[in-house]
Chains A and B, each alone.
Chain A
Amino acid sequence: MTLVLEAAVLGILTGGVYALMASGLTLIFGVMRIINVGHGALVILGAYLSFVLWRNLNIDPFLSLVVTMPVMFMLGVILQVVFVRPLKTDREALSVLVTYALALGIEGLLGYVFSSNYVQITAWYDTASFPIGNFRITYVYVYGFLLCLAILGAIFLMLYRTTFGGAIRATMLNRTAAQLVGIDVDRVSAIAFGIGMATAAAGGVVFGITNTFNPGSHYDLISRLLTIIVLGGLGSLRGAIIAALVMLVIEDVTSVVISPVWASFVFFVILVAVLLLRPQGLFGVTVRDRV
């Protein structure tokens, strides 16, 4: 029983990371209506950036975010402007191809620079743990979770308390209407993409500390992230966060109760189950455009 509890707690903690990454992904979808299948690769890129800073300059991974987040933000803006904005027709389909191409390019570049050996970011405190009841929780997971909470909190604050956040939400609700009231949707899109990238950087750090990774890790990651945002309802931040937590808890518990091998499979089984009942996901809006 303790094992299950421990797994559940772990699930919540890791769920936080996935929640952060997934919210960036769903935000991008909400604003631009594109599926960024390169999100996983960008998380890995963030992980490698922090890895380099840690390995070569001995900068604490969490501290490295001060550098990597702004850098990734700008990268995100540039990518959006160069590769996504020019797409006029068949936007949704083409953006999938474009972002996939970007993912491949990033994977190739990372592989070229770092080779395909698995690496992991370590911090001096990463094996330190503290006891709760009958089991122990490693500090690193908690720090990661707190970081995710902080960033998600900041995002929500921004979305609901600032004018710009209002502009983002307006664009998510109705792009044309937003344009009609004078919102520069192109700028909003670029910045939203940048924010998505910044969350990827943060997610990358925590992911990189708690997992071994190599350039090819983005496949597994993106398949989970996509599943999460579909489950939560495309474009719904709340949905992404809740779905991430639920999925990860179930996965970790399954890993303990049944086997680690089938834990990943459970992920998709849940997706199937939910979509059967609610094709729009937990918090999605039914998208049937009718007159």
Chain B
Amino acid sequence: MKRLRDVRVLMGSGLVLLLGFALAFPAIAPDSASTNMAVFTMMFVGLATAWNIMGGYTGYISLGHAGFFGFGSYALGLVLAKLGVAGGYTPFLFVPVAGLLTALLAAAVGWFALRTRAATFVIVTIAFMFMLQLLAENLTSLTGGGAGLGFPVAPWRGDFYNIPFYYAMLALAVLGLAVSWAIRRSKFGLGLLAIRDDEDKALAVGVPAGAFKLTAFVVSAALVGMIGSVYGYYVIFIYPQFVVDPLIGISMVLMVFLGGLGTLGGPVLGALILEPAQLWLAYNYGASRLYLVLYSAVFLLVILLMPRGIIPSVRDLITRWRSGTGGSAAAPGAARKPPAPAAGTAP
């Protein structure tokens, strides 16, 4: 018991350290190349965490989240244009608006998509993403179509430009983690996990699966939409195929799988590992088509070698090691921490 409290304390302090490091990062590495990398990495930390709320907790794999990412982007861009907001800190205030709009879209899409199960759901989300891309490309009067949509330009200069965006992404990532953690600890979260294990059984014990799944979907999408909106503001000009980008959609999924599906820290870990790697690959090989081949190779290696993800695999390793050396009275691979509503909160 004491050992586990120690572990919790360790985890907790680790988190605080990590957060401190994240907050201080721009001071540590203020050059624009590093902060740019930081912006994208934090972006994916948030995206992966948000995606995990749906895919990890309920087991419903959405491959269309790139659609929400793009929608959030366009939403903010259009709102800013309509209201004539100038560049600076003000646009950030409208990010929640983009989130709300994305939530509404997700409610509609989710209501429809969640009528199906497993395999069909995946495909419907893919179809949704392509539909959104098509709409973005063809509703030219609204979105500018292939010519793109512009955002107000922020007045910051030089190395400082990236900083506010970094903190915005960090804030969203922290928000996502907080929401994810709160869900995990709640009865709602337990219901989601039950749905993942056996949806019909969950229904049989009164879990309102439809409402729960939709809520998770909407929350997940809203977060992704907000992150997408900040991205749009960051890159100043967005185009349909670059903002409703299947690669972004699949990256966030891969990161969660790498880190550990359904865990709290898994998405964070996956993003911290893969995004810098992705950026490095793009920087060094982006010009040639080999970038995709290498990325694909990394992808395949991750999935085939660590299908359960890093965190669950490490956990198993530790449990086995413990019971091997006669540690805690744990059945191999079976026991978890003593009963707590916060099922496995430690990342």
Chain A interface (Cβ < 8 Å from any Cβ of B)? 29, 33, 35, 37, 83, 86-90, 92-94, 96-98, 100-102, 104-105, 107-112, 115-116, 215, 219-220, 223, 226-227, 229-230, 234, 261-262, 264-265, 268, 271-272, 275-276, 279-281, 287-290
B261 interface residue (CB < 8 Å to A): yes
The reply to whether A83 and B119 contact each other, CB–CB distance below 8 Å, is no
In the assembly, what is the distance between CA of A92 and CA of B196, in Å?
Answer: 14
Q: Which residues of A contact B92 (CB under 8 A)?
A: none
Give the residue of A90, A223, A268 whose beta carbon is less than 8 angstroms from that of B307.
Answer: A90
Cβ distance B247 to chain A, nearest Cβ, rounded Å: 8
Task: Say which one of B176-184, B294-302, B332-340 lies at the interface with A.
Answer: B294-302
Q: How far is the CA of A98 from the CA of B112 in the complex (A)?
A: 27
Q: How far is the CB of A173 from chain B (nearest CB, A)?
A: 16
In the complex, A201 Cα to B83 Cα: how many Å?
52
Q: Is the pair B292, A107 in contact by a Cβ cutoff of 8 Å?
A: yes
Task: Give complex CA distance A83, B296 in Å.
Answer: 12
Tell me whether B122 and A96 are in contact (CB under 8 A).
Answer: yes
Q: How many Å from the CB of A288 to the closest CB on chain B?
A: 7
Chain A residues, CB < 8 A from B112: 272, 275-276
Q: Report the Cα distance A276→B200, complex, angstroms.
A: 21
**In the assembled complex, which residues on chain B have CB atoms less than 8 Å from the CB atom of A289?**
200
Contacts of A110 in B (CB 8 A): 289
List of B residues within 8 angstroms of A90 by Cβ: 261, 307
Whether the pair A104, B296 counts as a contact (CB closer than 8 A) is yes
Contacts of B261 in A (CB 8 A): 90
Say whether, besides A97-B250, A234-B120, A88 and B296 are in contact (CB < 8 Å): no
Query: What are the nearest 6 A-B pairs in CB distance?
Result: A108-B292, A105-B296, A111-B289, A108-B293, A101-B299, A112-B289
B323 at the A interface (CB under 8 A): no
Q: Is B292 a contact of A111 with CB atoms below 8 Å?
A: yes
CB pair B290–A112 under 8 Å, yes or no, is yes
- Chain B contacts with A in 123-168, Cβ cutoff 8 A: 123-124, 126-128, 130-131, 134-135, 138
CB distance from B230 to the nearest CB of A (A): 26
Shortest Cβ distance from B290 into chain A, in angstroms?
Answer: 6
Query: Which residue from chain B places its CB closest to the CB of A262 in the assembled complex?
Result: B138
A-B contacts, 23 listed (Cβ < 8 Å): A35-B122, A35-B123, A87-B303, A89-B308, A92-B119, A94-B307, A96-B63, A97-B253, A97-B254, A97-B257, A97-B299, A98-B304, A101-B296, A102-B296, A104-B296, A112-B293, A223-B130, A226-B123, A230-B124, A234-B120, A275-B115, A275-B124, A279-B120
Q: B284 near A: Cβ within 8 Å?
A: no
- Most chain A beta-carbon neighbours within 10 Å: one of B59, B124, B289, B294: B289
- Given contacts A94-B303, A105-B297, A265 and B120 within 8 Å (CB-CB): no
Is B61 close to A, CB under 8 A? yes
Summed over the interface, the residue pairs from A and B with CB atoms below 8 Å come to a total of 133
Closest Cβ neighbor of A234 among chain B residues: B119
Q: Is B87 an interface residue (CB 8 A)?
A: no
Q: In the complex, A215 Cα to B291 Cα: how many Å? A: 14
Determine whether the beta carbon of A29 is less than 8 Å from that of B200.
Answer: no
Smallest CB–CB gap between A250 and chain B, Å? Answer: 16
B2 within 8 A of A: no
Would you call A268 and B127 a contact (CB within 8 A)?
yes
Contact A226 B126 (CB under 8 A): yes
Distance, CA A112 to CA B65, complexed state (A):
29
| B325 contacts A by Cβ under 8 Å | no
A92 touches B118 (CB 8 A): yes
Chain A residues within 8 Å of B292, by CB: 104-105, 107-108, 111
B3 at the interface (CB under 8 A from A): no
Q: Is B82 an interface residue (CB 8 A)?
A: no
**Quick check: A102 and B127 within 8 Å, CB to CB?**
no
In the bound assembly, the distance between CA atoms of A87 and B300 in angstroms comes to: 11
Is B300's CB under 8 angstroms from A102's CB?
A: yes
Q: In whole angstroms, how far apart are the Cα atoms of A35 and B128 in the complex?
A: 17
B306 to chain A, nearest CB (A): 11
Pick the most buried of B128, B130, B254: most chain A CB atoms within 10 A of its CB.
Answer: B130
Q: Which residues of A contact B291 (CB under 8 A)?
A: 108
Output the nearest chain B residue to A100 by Cβ-Cβ distance.
B250
Q: Known pairs A86-B304, A275-B116; list 8 more (Cβ under 8 Å).
A: A92-B61, A101-B296, A104-B295, A110-B289, A223-B127, A226-B126, A227-B127, A275-B120
Residues of A near B55 (CB, < 8 A) are 93
- Beta-carbon contacts of B41-71 to A below 8 Å, as 1s and 0s? 0000000000000010001010100000000
B127 A93 Cβ-Cβ under 8 A: no
Collect the chain A residues with CB atoms within 8 Å of residue B200's CB: 288-290
Set of chain B residues within 8 Å of A272, measured between Cβ atoms: 112
Residue of B138, B300, B307 near A265 (CB, 8 A) is B138
Smallest CB gap from A224: residue in B:
B130
Q: Quick one: given A35-B122, A279-B120, are A271 and B293 in contact (CB under 8 Å)?
A: no
Residue B5, interface by CB 8 Å: no
What residues of chain B lie closer than 8 Å to A264, measured between beta carbons?
134
Nearest CB in chain A: distance from B220 CB, A: 16
B257–A101 contact, CB under 8 A?
no
Q: How far is the CA of A3 from the CA of B16 in the complex (A)?
A: 68
CB B124 to nearest CB in A, in angstroms, measures: 7
Contact among A97, A108, A116, A280 for B290, CB-based, below 8 A: A108
Say yes or no: B127 contacts A87, CB within 8 Å.
Answer: no
Interface string of B236-253 (1 = CB under 8 A from A): 000000000010001001
